[in-house]
């Protein structure tokens, strides 16, 4: 569920893709067991063990999809269904990833997938997002049941609003470089969420 973002003056790259309220730093620290001690940088910090257990140890039965940045698994976490992305292609350093998580944790718009949590444990890097049962726009465009034009127009407008927020209204401007149907998730009311 990561997207490509470009570095520009006063802009940053971010890999984000869900909607979870953050907990206090004390709660975050109690949920993570890190071999390296560092500050809490995102909405919620999880341990690798918590996310492995939530995905049935990254079982293929829970695999939702796979892309250029890694695999996405369905997870049962904190009493809710979530999506956990296990990153394969990592930013050049842990510091870069931490910066991206900090920025992604502050981005909030109804048409963007919000980062709900993260785990950085040794070489393991995982991101936690809201689960979208309607999947991606791509899955809906290729179904036998055709979406009506009103629904398609509402999806297009929502995508445009999300991109406008990233490009014009974020404190740190973000340029999304990978807009495609696979990177547009649909909630239960077909409201689009750009990831």
List residues with catalytic annotation. 178
Q: What single DSSP character describes residue 145?
A: S
List for the chain the helix, strand, coil content (%; round to 5). 30, 25, 45
Burial (CB < 10 A; 0-12, 13-18, 19+), residue 96, is middle
- Separation between Cα atoms, residue 127 and residue 117, nearest integer Å: 6
For residues 13 and 166, is the Cβ–Cβ distance under 8 A? no
Rounding to the nearest 10 degrees, give the CA dihedral for residues 58, 64, 66, 70: -40
Q: What single DSSP character describes residue 157?
A: H
């Amino acid at each position: 569920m990561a997207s490509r973002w470009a570095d520009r003056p006063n802009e940053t790259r971010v890999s984000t893709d869900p909607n979870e309220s953050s907990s206090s730093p004390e709660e975050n620290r109690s949920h993570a067991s890190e071999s390296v001690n560092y500050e809490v940088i995102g909405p919620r910090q999880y341990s690798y063990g918590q996310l492995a257990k939530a995905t049935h140890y990254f079982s293929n039965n829970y695999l939702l999809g796979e892309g250029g940045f890694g695999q996405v698994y369905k997870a049962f976490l904190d009493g809710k269904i979530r999506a956990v992305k296990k990153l394969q292609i990592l930013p050049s350093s842990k510091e870069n990833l931490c910066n991206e998580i900090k920025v992604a944790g502050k981005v909030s718009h109804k048409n963007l997938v919000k980062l709900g949590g993260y785990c950085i444990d040794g070489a393991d890097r995982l991101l936690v997002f809201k689960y979208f049962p309607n999947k991606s726009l791509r899955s809906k465009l290729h179904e036998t049941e055709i979406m009506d034009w009103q629904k398609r127009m509402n999806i297009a407008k929502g995508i445009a609003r999300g991109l406008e927020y990233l490009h014009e209204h974020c404190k740190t401007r973000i340029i999304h470089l990978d807009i495609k149907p696979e990177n547009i998730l649909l909630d239960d009311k077909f409201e689009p969420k750009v990831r």
